[in-house]
Chains A and B, each alone.
Chain A
Amino acid sequence: MAKPLQFRLGDTAICFEIGAKVDKKALYGYAKRIAEKDGKPLSRGILLADGRLLPTNAVSTLKADPDGSPVEEVRTLIDDQPAELKPSSFDVESPLEAVSMSELATFQVTDVYPLTGSGLGPGLYRTTFNYRKSHSPKDALLLVRSDQAFLLTGIGKRSTFLSLSVAYDFFDAEGESDDADDLDFSMV
């Protein structure tokens, strides 16, 4: 079911309805990997060190502090500072900033949501998206085409122009250790 999202571009308020996420499964199908023997599908389990076999659904994930399950409210810290819980995008108006289409070349998309609405001309707009209340809203681009609009969430990347000498530290290349000055002849 479509839910309304409120945006603001300058002095203009714009409303879009967001549809269900579109992934490649919905567009093209998918392949499911299974193990089978003699035509019968097998279940996946966990083999313990003592040889006992547990089905996967016998194991669960639990969040605990050193005393066990948390009794008091859990505090979240980001960079050792108390983190603020940001509201869901469905509860607030999100700002839009018009950007160049070339931003799409350096934006790694994680989710695609179709949008229905009007009031925004064709182009690309930078915003953020928080489906539920969280500490870190995701970066997002709102793409308006003549036939359809999409909300793309993901991660923006930085690139650089390259001259004859390449600044490899820009790409976070691993540092190379200097060779020791002394030759080592213990090559056993």
Chain B
Amino acid sequence: MPITLHLEYQGKSARVDLHGLPPEKPKVLARNFTSAGEVSTSRLVTGARKNAAVDFAALVAGDPELDLALAGTPIDADSVTPAWFDPADPAPKPIGDFADVDIVYDASDQEKVRRPHLVRHSNLNELHPVKLGKRLPAVEALTQFAFKQTLQLAHVDGLTHEFLQTLARDLAQKSEVAVLGAGPKGNQPLVIREAGTAYRAFLHGEVDHEGRYRLLLLLSDQELKLPERSTAEIE
């Protein structure tokens, strides 16, 4: 099912489709076997209390680090649910009224700030269309960012065909890539799906000799550069 992108270009806006792309090579399906049959992965209760507070006397007297009641029991994902508990509680029980918090760390692992957990909403098809911003030379953009996902824009009717073809021709003729931004000012990163990751988005366009167009939405959350401390070590 395609995603809808509300896009603005040269004062006009249109809603177009965004499609995922098939892989160049078919996915490799590897399966493991022994003479007994297929090897599969299971989740089991280990029977070990990894956080048990034990001392030498307790270890000699008994096996406080073991809880063999459920050891070896398979865990069926459909019949369990995650729960949160106080690890210091001698009789842990599920706690429901907890705060969902994000701890933000900087690149050197230092805590910067704490905030309520941030859930990002898709912003591709909002009242304010996604806008084209700054232009970059295509080769420069392709070699400065690591693109984690690529989607292709497709028209939905004759009018949007002309809209996208014109846009692709504009980018191709100038060998440029356009930076896209969401929000009222067109400067926000794009979020493709609900609770998804925010990406910086670039539009790459080509037109072939038959007049067919190809517009690719390139999504990146990482520049192609070295961390600052690596650069400092080299210097």
Selecting from B4-12, B48-56, B128-136, B186-194, the interface stretch reads: B48-56
B63 at the interface (CB under 8 A from A): no
Q: Which of A44, A77, A101, A158 contacts B22 (CB 8 A)?
A: A158
Does A102 sit within 8 A of B, measured CB to CB?
A: yes
Question: Which single member of A57, A60, A143, A162 contacts B214 (CB below 8 Å)?
Answer: A162
CB distance from B2 to the nearest CB of A (A): 7
Question: Does B45 belong to the interface (CB within 8 Å)?
Answer: yes
Contact assessment for B25 and A76 in the assembled complex, using a CB-CB cutoff below 8 Å: no
Given contacts A34-B103, A46-B80, A171 and B21 within 8 Å (CB-CB) = yes
Inter-chain contacts of B104 with A (CB < 8 A) = 29-31
- Which positions 208-235 of chain B face chain A at CB distance < 8 Å? 208, 210-214, 216, 218, 221-227, 230
Partner of A61, one of B42, B47, B227: B42
Given known A35-B84, A52-B70, A150-B224, contact A101–B139 (CB-CB < 8 A): yes
* Set A25, A36, A46, A59: member contacting B98, Cβ < 8 A: A36
Q: Whole-angstrom distance between the alpha carbons of A53 and B45 in the complex?
A: 12
The answer on a CB contact under 8 Å between A104 and B21 is: no
How big is the B interface, by class? 35 or more
The answer to whether the Cβ of A65 comes within 8 Å of any Cβ in the partner chain is yes
A71: chain B residues at CB < 8 Å are 34
Return chain B residues, CB-CB under 8 Å to A34.
Answer: 101-103
* Contacts of A3-26 to chain B: CB distance below 8 A: 19, 22-26
In contact, B31 and A77 (Cβ under 8 angstroms):
yes
Q: Which residues of B contact A74 (CB under 8 A)?
A: 32-34, 39
Which B residues lie within 8 Å of A145 (CB)? 143, 224
Residues of B within 8 A of A36 (CB): 98-99, 101
Q: How far is the CB of A34 from chain B (nearest CB, A)?
A: 5
In this complex, the member of A30, A110, A143 whose beta carbon has the largest number of chain B beta carbons within 10 angstroms is A30
A29 closest partner in B (C-beta): B106
Partner of A45, one of B85, B118, B149, B206: B85
Interface contact B92-A166, CB-CB below 8 Å: no
Q: Which of A65, A114, A166 is close to B154, meaning CB atoms less than 8 Å apart?
A: A166
Q: Which residue of B lies closest to A73 (CB)?
A: B34
Contact between chains at A26 and B227 (CB < 8 Å): yes
Residues of A within 8 A of B93 (CB): 53
28 A-B interface contacts by CB (under 8 A): A22-B222, A23-B222, A24-B221, A29-B104, A29-B112, A33-B102, A34-B103, A35-B95, A37-B98, A37-B99, A42-B87, A44-B84, A45-B94, A47-B82, A47-B83, A65-B40, A74-B32, A101-B143, A105-B216, A106-B24, A143-B224, A158-B21, A161-B208, A161-B210, A162-B212, A171-B2, A171-B20, A172-B22
Query: Residues of A at under 8 Å CB distance from B?
Result: 19, 22-37, 40, 42-49, 52-55, 57-67, 70-79, 83, 101-102, 104-110, 112, 114, 135-136, 139, 143, 145, 148, 150, 152, 155-164, 166, 170-174
Known: A43-B87, A74-B32, A104-B147. 5 other contacts (CB 8 A): A43-B85, A55-B87, A104-B142, A145-B224, A163-B211
